[in-house]
Amino acid sequence: MVYPLMILKKQIVSTIHESLKKLDINDISETIIKDSIEETPDYAFGSYACTICFDLAKKLKKAPREIANTISNNIVFDKDSFIKGIEVAGNGYINIFINFDNFSKAVIKDISKRGNEYGSIKTSKKTKVIIEHTSVNPNKPWHFGHARNAVLGDTLARIMRAAGYDVEVQNYIDDLGRQVAISVLDNIKFKSLNDKNLKFDHWTGLRYVEINKELEADKSLETDIETIIKDMEEGGNKTSVLARDLTEKCVFAQLQTAFRMGIFYNLLTWESDIVQSKLLEEATTILLESKSVIKEREGPNKDCIVLKLDKEKSMEGMYSSDKVLFRSNGTATYTGKDIAFHLWKFGLLKKNLKYLKTMKQPNKQDLWTTNNNGKKSSDFGHGDIVVNVIGAEQAYPQEAVRIALKVLGYPHFKNYIHIAYEHVWLPEGKFSGRKGTWVGFSTDDILDEATKRALVEIEKRDKSVLSDSEKTKLAEAIGIGAVRYILLKTSAFKKITFRWEDALSFEGNTGPYLQYASVRCSSILKRVKKIKSNLDVPFVKKEEHQLIFEMAKMPETIKKSAYMKDTTIAATYAFNVATLFNSFYNNVPVLKAEKAEVNTRIALVEASKTVLDNMLNILGISVVDNM
């Protein structure tokens, strides 16, 4: 798939390459020239600068500027080229100026032709990526830190689909952990009943806080917890059935939060199904064939199956050079189960899971769940690349899984990627499910507050005849857009301290700012329905050139964002396009332009609308008709 910017860059490289050949310099490849070209920071110095002359100076024993002048004198431009000219600058830079007459027409025609596919990459061979995200313990609602995980994962999935990958999204449900056992204890011992006035996940979260107080007061309850965990792992008993029922109700309540934010999945993967499907037994056999996995005969890990990590440089400075995979009683640790799970994800096990179709999601896509009473299928797993969106504090166990794949001899370890992110904190400290510091700051609470604040802003500005229901729907779209964007614009490696004034601001670098740029496009286009856009008049304004050049970058931005697995690249790009469009909107007349210029500028507005809307969709932010 070829885009105008790709053609422009190829023309720059081939033009310089041909000039070098005229000078009998034949051992400089196009790849070397390509690597020497960079975007200029100032529009006045052209769009690109080439530094190849500095590399040639030592080879030719000449000053870089002298070489640049010689190259310049040997360059010939085709009239249909996207290159207008070059200029030698400084000590030997070659600055490249774009022929915006040709380039602008090509870019806008390309955007118009591709429409909502513009920016996406089409590939003949699909690479399958399995992205695991969210994975919130099934006994509480999402707090805002959980929302960061889900939004990062969902947006990365959208980016990678746009980049041409076959994406499968999984939500891993840890339904065998201590937290679930506490909720089961609450049901068995304290006979607590669901408060029908609360979402189920909120009710279980509040009960979890209360039962932890009981556990602190009565240490004998720990024996009950241990018994419950054992029963859950064994399966096929009343306790395991109760645990699955409670956790399913909680997960489906959590899904309502996800759906509200435009987050959807392909598969819910339950830890209990992994344990009871015999994947662990097959994985254990494979592990014990490696010299790096041993059963300890003495010491603190006696009779445990341990992964030896002391020879791995990537593990230096982490907690331990030995990672226990299976305890002395034969039960698997979290990492042991995770290794088996990832052998399955990559399609490296003979055994498989079973699946049931559980619901139709609001996006009309089926949601499947693992279930040992379901049917076998080859549709899930078998990933070429596996991406896990998991908190930075899990770096050690995540690296242990990657190293396990490596020592087992699987090249797949190179495609095992941990997207580590820092958590969202309150000014007072971290969120705690056990202590209940999430109360009032659940994702549901924050979305409600965001919608409420957006509605206040709409009421201030609205001069139309929107009905109350239309205003509420619009406020929801704006509020959720604000929440998603605040979680995307900050690098995953940086901690976010949650403050209402930051998270729900509608000014500056925010989700509503992007939405408003799209609305401005719509407002112009609604007023010119009878005017047909064309490109008869060239673009001459600086604001036009900068906007078009930025819009031309969308395909390579999506490709880079997918390759780097970095959602901030896409978010920053969307903000740049919105900012440049607003600069154009404020400084260049469209409807009040000279008659000959109106149609051409309408074409630019249409193209801007397409790019902005496509980026909003990739970021999971709703496109709205008015604000």
Q: In the chain, what are the domain boundaries?
A: 4-98, 443-619
5 Cβ contact list (under 8 Å, min separation 6)? 107, 552, 553, 555, 556
8-20: buried (b, 16+ CB within 10 Å) or exposed (e) per residue?
A: bbebbbebbbebb
366-370 and 267-270 beta bridge pairing: parallel
Residue 350 confidence (pLDDT): 93
Confidence of residue 426 (pLDDT cuts 50, 70, 90): low
128-132 and 267-270 beta bridge pairing: unpaired
Give SS3 for 230.
helix
Average pLDDT, the chain: 91
Instruction: Specify the residue for token string 């690249």.
Output: 569
For residues 586 and 424, give the distance between their C-alpha atoms in angstroms, rounded to a whole number: 36
User: Is 482 a residue whose pLDDT tops 80?
Assistant: yes
Q: Highest-confidence range of 161-170, 461-470, 527-536, by mean pLDDT?
A: 161-170
Give SS3 for 21.
helix
Question: pLDDT above 70 covers what percent of the chain?
Answer: 94
Residue 497 confidence (pLDDT): 83
Strand partners, 356: 369
Tens digits of residue pLDDT in 322-376: 889 999 988 888 899 999 999 999 999 999 999 999 999 999 999 999 999 999 9
User: Is 127 a residue whose pLDDT tops 90?
Assistant: yes
Tens digits of residue pLDDT in 6-37: 999 999 999 999 999 988 898 899 999 999 99
Tens digits of residue pLDDT in 589-625: 999 988 889 999 999 999 999 999 999 999 999 999 9
CATH of domain 443-619: 1.10.730.10
User: Is 433 a residue whose pLDDT tops 70?
Assistant: no
Question: pLDDT above 90 covers what percent of the chain?
Answer: 71
Tens digits of residue pLDDT in 40-86: 888 777 899 999 999 999 889 999 999 999 999 988 888 889 999 99
Residue 320 confidence (pLDDT): 65
Token output for 309: 């990590």
User: Is 432 a residue whose pLDDT tops 80?
Assistant: no
Quote the CATH superfamily of domain 4-98: Arginyl tRNA synthetase N-terminal domain (3.30.1360.70)
148 with 567: CB under 8 angstroms?
Answer: no
For the ranges 159-163, 193-197, 249-253, 415-419, which has the lowest average pLDDT?
A: 193-197
In sequence order, what DSSP letters do the residues of 579-592 get, joined into one string? HHHHHHHHHS-STT
For residues 468 and 486, give the distance between their C-alpha atoms in angstroms, rounded to a whole number: 27
For the ranges 78-92, 206-220, 313-327, 409-423, which has the lowest average pLDDT?
A: 313-327
Confidence of residue 123 (pLDDT cuts 50, 70, 90): confident
Burial of 318 (0-12, 13-18, 19+ CB in 10 A): middle
Residue 428 confidence (pLDDT): 63
Residue 79 confidence (pLDDT): 81
